[in-house]
Amino acid sequence: MGDRFPALIVNTSDFSSQPVGNRIVSRIVNRIANDGDGMRAALAQAAHALYTTTPNPRVGCVIVRGGEILAEGHTQPAGFAHAEAHALRHAAEAGIDVRGATAYVTLEPCSHHGRTPPCADALAAAGIARVVAAIEDPNPLVAGQGLARLRAAGVAVEVGVLADEATEMNIGFLHRMRLGRPWVRMKVAASLDGGTALPDGQSQWITSAAARDDGHAWRARACAILTGIGTVVQDDPQLNVRAVATPRQPRRIVVDSRLEIAPEAKVLAGGGSWIVAAVDDAARAARLRADGHEVIVLPSGSGKVDLAVLMQELGRRQINELHVEAGTKLNGSLLGAGVVDELLMYVAPCLLGPAQGIARLPQLERLDGRLPLHFHDVCRVGPDLRIRARLAAS
């Protein structure tokens, strides 16, 4: 996806409204006039890494002197160069001296030795005079220490430029670092009166091809896609990314309390799926493992999967963004467990009448018991509306 994003961007749409064709650029200029311009250019670099860096954050770095971009870089796949090192390497390969320059980075430079050395040290050693970071890194291994190392080395540091945009770019990583679980995005396609399928389960297609393609772009940026056994039985989905180009496929996860999934289910094609159960059926689990899948047993005590524990387990497994495409039962259970952060709703301009709904929730006796949401983003996708509504606590 690299050539979709020009290197120098200074007027960027809100990253919270991505995808929709993953358009990020609206205007290109030749010089960086201020810190906002510099950070927008860095965010555009981070967008190159939208589908490739998991479990690491998507970070962009742009090195500027006198309004001119000297070098730029973005986070490479896990185990390879971080954005700052990527930019510094480009400068070195071009024979560019970056001493006295300003580095714009979308996330605080790291301060620890992992699979790569500390980026804060690399920037200071290169003679960078000033670092502008969009946000601090809540990773306990960093958590302000990168900025402190830069200041101790005599580098001027500023934090907070385009912080909201940078947060949206890495909302899953930041959420996992703070709460230990992924950002959970529940995708729903519905009619204007809230129907997601006819009573007999027919649902293909309520929304347009444009909406479905956009949904695939949201799949692509997720670390994993989750569904339930009911959806597998009813629709037999592949649950992969097909409508947009992507260098990797998200992990596929099926909540299947009784391990009833059929070996020929499309979601199992190619191996590598995670099946989450409430029972430890040795024979069925052995069959799945022999086909290259993993069985995770997390009982709730009531014959169901403990969804809250599942989210903590996915956080432990470094899942940043979890994309849910499930039916009304599992959607209701996830919402009831309080583990959903955002609804990604595609609403078609049609009415279905009696139909299956978005989520099976308990009947309320009082309106003040309703589940509060707030609209984060609303836009048109083809003939449909795309609404992103966040839970009040998210």
Cβ neighbours of 330 (radius 10 Å): 23
Q: What angle is formed at CA 45 by the lines to CA 41 and CA 46, rounded to 5 degrees?
A: 115
Residue 392 structure tokens = 């009040």
Q: Which of 300, 205, 212, 288 is nearest to 254 (CA)?
A: 288
The contacts of residue 194 (CB under 8 Å, 6+ apart) are 355, 357, 358
Cβ neighbours of 136 (radius 10 Å): 18
Residues in the chain: 394
Q: Which of 72, 84, 108, 321 is catalytic?
A: 84
Residue 157 to residue 17: CA distance in whole angstroms: 29
CA 50 to chain centre: 8
Residue 190 to residue 382: CA distance in whole angstroms: 15
State how far the alpha carbon of 27 is from the alpha carbons of 13, 24, 45, 69, in Å. Answer: 10, 10, 15, 16
Is 232 exposed, middle or buried, given 0-12, 13-18 or 19+ CB atoms closer than 10 A? buried
Q: Which of 86, 83, 66, 60 is nearest to 8 (CA)?
A: 60
- Residue pair 309/298 in contact by the 8 Å Cβ criterion: yes
Residue 109 to residue 97: CA distance in whole angstroms: 20
Backbone phi, then psi, for 331, in 5-degree steps? -55, -45
84 a catalytic residue? yes
Strand order across the beta sheet in which 130-133 lies: 68-74, 60-65, 102-105, 130-133, 156-159
Q: What angle is formed at CA 16 by the lines to CA 14 and CA 22, rounded to 5 degrees?
A: 80
- Residues annotated as catalytic are 84
